[in-house]
Structure 1
Amino acid sequence: MLALFQHRCLPLPMPRVLRFALLSLSVLAVGLVALIYALTWHPAAREPAVLACQAEAPQLQPGQALKVMTWNLQYLAGKRYVFYYDLPDGEGPDERPTAEDLAYSLDEVVRVIREEQPDIVNLQELHEGARATDYQDQLALLQERLADVYPCASQAFYWKAAFVPDPHILGSVGLKLATLSRFHIESAERLQLPLEANDPVSRQFDKKRALLVSYLPIRGGGRLAAVNTHLDALDDDPETLKRQVAMTRGLLDQLQSEGLPWILAGDFNQLPPGQYERLSAPQRSRYTRDSELKALWSRYPMIPSVEEASGAQQAQWFTHYPNDPRVKGPDRTLDYVFHSPSLTRIEARVRQDDTLRISDHLPLTARFFLPSGH
């Protein structure tokens, strides 16, 4: 009787249909993971950046004047749109620019760069292979038009995927940093910044912000490091932004300890002191009152300086003109140039008068004297 009872209590064999269903689900899960991995991009923490430089490009000279420009080009979209991500509620009506507007912006960017004649140009938000801009290689389009001025260029993606399942995108993305130079670039590297905190799946499709570091030899010995970046705007994840700024400062501290002159220029997505309070509640929602950039400006010279960006003339340093119908002109500073103390600032300005239709950011330029080498 006991044996019969024990026999009846043994677990029943799993039905074949259930085993097949579980196996199928496992295969689908593995296949989904493999598909997501194949569709997305997985850069190393540190890797060589793509670099093209003509052999005859001149070298920097000790003590020479050097003009630098930084400009977020908003992928040549222009200012006739309110994109879905432009409004605080994410409800902007537009998803992509027209081919005509892309062509107009390209012409205008070339015009401004040729008129300004900067020696080094740090550009952000250039598209390559993105469905939203007809799969253009926007850096290549610029290089074709500026080949006689800039023999050298480095580049690094910070968003890349064959397909993003966001309803506003539903296709490929490709977003990059680029540095154009009149002078020889001997090497360049991409340094991965800390990633936004997100779930494991979403994180694969997120932007992967970076530092693009280009090294320009100086005749007689030494190098200049030109650093390009576009930091996150993470009001809901301040720790990631803090870590990105900390890593950036770590790089600058390292360059400084090695005795290398350096310039860091880009879109930092942070306000200087005093500008948070002047924005309306909807406009300030993406920023923190206390900028994380204090970790940089408290140690190294910044353009515009805190006094310039916070004083009575702060409007002349505004670099951002949001694509928001409630905003009627440039109203905040998000783009900066930091530099090593060994560089002497000559002059700087934001070109506002004839650039308002080109991008939601305005070009910031600065001129320096390089160290003389003595």
Structure 2
Amino acid sequence: MIAIGAIFFVFALILLGVLALGYYPKAEQDEPVTQLIDAPLLSRQPAFKVLSYNVQFMAGKDYTFWFDVPEANGPDSQPSAEAVQKTIADVANIIIDEDADFVFLQEVDDGAKRTGKKDQLNALLALLPATYAYHTSAFYWKSGFVPHPRILGRTGMKLSILSKHPITSAKRHQLALTPDNVLVKHLGIKRAVLEARVPLQEGSELVLLNTHLEAFSKNSDTLQKQVDHVRSMLQTLNDQNLPWVIGGDFNLLPPNQYQTLPPREQFYYRPTSELEDLTRQFSSVPSIEDVEKDPANWYSFYSNDPDVTQPDRTLDYLFYSPLLTCQSKTVRQHDTINISDHFPIIASFGLEAYTDQPTLELGEKNVS
């Protein structure tokens, strides 16, 4: 009996030690903003451009990771250092070519064992023009040690926003967690929204939001809770008469796309997507009309599962304030297919119509 008690005590100590290495952010917390050089204030004219890109920890497309298949037994656990270096250069080339004012990145590794414990954002910034003068980040996976057999080490993954214009403040908003066991809940991914405030030359400010919603919650209401949280944040900004753009990997299918996926890939999703809760109230890129008219043109995901042989779904979006007008929009597919399992989504928005008048009522959209 004493031996059993001693074993239990040792196990409890080990468990507590592992949990102590976890990341426990507040519901809302300020995040540091880095300024590299002086930069001009954003003006209401001309239009500004946003690029959102899930860069899949700069791994490239030559791997099938263990989590890329429904059985969670893909052959690969980490990319090579050479693959990461090449992918960072490829991502930099896309950003340079698009020349966006603001860049939203998801799945940027920092300190993770799987990518050599490097800060991928710093490596990327070294290849970009100095005009990306401001940046801010928020971790959504961070642990000193994860005892999963395909990880067995440190994790670090963050959301990042790069800006050609001053950022005055940044904040991390915690989203709902999955109802998993204690180890997964505390050492696993903790989805979040990264908010950045950009002052306007003529007064007021533009609010930028970057997110990556839950990917593995089909059998729980976690994704619905996260969507509800995002929806509430956006409505609050509308109530404050502030222009905003939110972008990222929402892991949500547009209407009728579930039925077009092979049964194996339907494993990750629900037949009816929570996306409707956002598109019903807010304008989006792509819009539901865009996807219905030409679905392939708006595919933003190409699974690493070897059974999937071409891009076949839309998971990445930009939503924007009724105070903005969308002037151009695209998913860049033609030369990004070997960079990540996601494609960058890009849009330009006009602020020239923004005034300090009350915003549209709940449910109204500025469709363009």
Instruction: Give the TM interval when normalised to the shorter protein.
Output: over 0.9
Alignment partner for residue 306 of structure 1, among 288, 296, 303?
Answer: 288
Cα distance in 2, alignment partners of residues 245 and 314 from structure 1: 23
Cα distance in 2, alignment partners of residues 110 and 236 from structure 1: 34
Cα distance in 2, alignment partners of residues 91 and 234 from structure 1: 15
Look up the match of 2:157: 175
Amino acid corresponding to residue 190 of structure 1 in structure 2: R
Cα distance in 1, alignment partners of residues 229 and 341 from structure 2: 27
- Asked whether the equivalents of residues 71 and 122 of structure 1 are also in contact (C-alpha less than 8 Å), the reply is yes
Look up the match of 1:320: 301
Q: After superposition, give the CA deviation of every residue in 1:17-42 in whole Å (9 maximum; x if it has no partner).
A: x5x55764574355234302322111
Cα distance in 2, alignment partners of residues 95 and 33 from structure 1: 24
SS in 2 for 1:247: helix
Cα distance in 1, alignment partners of residues 154 and 36 from structure 2: 31
Look up the match of 1:74: 56
Cα distance in 2, alignment partners of residues 231 and 116 from structure 1: 25
Look up the match of 1:13: none
Amino acid corresponding to residue 36 of structure 1 in structure 2: V
Alignment partner for residue 193 of structure 2, among 208, 211, 217?
Answer: 211
Look up the match of 1:108: 90
SS in 2 for 1:85: helix
Look up the match of 2:314: 333
Look up the match of 2:364: none
Please say if 1:273 is aligned against 2:255.
yes
Look up the match of 1:3: none
Unaligned runs of 5+ in 1: 1-17
Look up the match of 2:345: 364
- Asked whether the equivalents of residues 74 and 124 of structure 1 are also in contact (C-alpha less than 8 Å), the reply is yes
**Structure 2 counterparts to residues 208-287 of structure 1, below 5 A:** 208-287=190-269
Amino acid corresponding to residue 40 of structure 1 in structure 2: G
SS in 1 for 2:95: helix
Please say if 1:165 is aligned against 2:147.
yes
SS in 1 for 2:189: coil
Bigger radius of gyration among the two: 1
Range with bigger deviation, 121-130 or 142-151: 142-151
RMSD: 1.5
Cα distance in 1, alignment partners of residues 144 and 193 from structure 2: 23
Cα distance in 2, alignment partners of residues 23 and 290 from structure 1: 49
* CA drift at 1:76: 0.7
Count residues in correspondence: 355
**Structure 2 counterparts to residues 1-40 of structure 1, below 5 A:** 21=3, 24=6, 27-28=9-10, 30-40=12-22
* CA drift at 1:57: 1.5
Q: After superposition, give the CA deviation of every residue in 1:270-323 in whole Å (9 maximum; x if it has no partner).
A: 100121111110011101111111111100001100011122x11010000100
* CA drift at 1:263: 0.1
Cα distance in 2, alignment partners of residues 236 and 372 from structure 1: 40
Please say if 1:65 is aligned against 2:58.
no
Structure 1 residues 186 and 93: alpha-carbon distance in aligned structure 2, compared to 1, 3 A threshold = same
- TM-score where L is the length of structure 2: 0.93
Range with bigger deviation, 279-288 or 196-205: 196-205
Please say if 1:195 is aligned against 2:177.
yes
Q: After superposition, give the CA deviation of every residue in 1:36-55 in whole Å (9 maximum; x if it has no partner).
A: 23221111111011311246
- Asked whether the equivalents of residues 159 and 211 of structure 2 are also in contact (C-alpha less than 8 Å), the reply is yes
SS in 2 for 1:36: helix
- Asked whether the equivalents of residues 19 and 183 of structure 2 are also in contact (C-alpha less than 8 Å), the reply is no
- Asked whether the equivalents of residues 127 and 138 of structure 1 are also in contact (C-alpha less than 8 Å), the reply is yes
Q: After superposition, give the CA deviation of every residue in 1:76-106 in whole Å (9 maximum; x if it has no partner).
A: 1001111111111112111111111111111
Range with bigger deviation, 364-373 or 239-248: 364-373
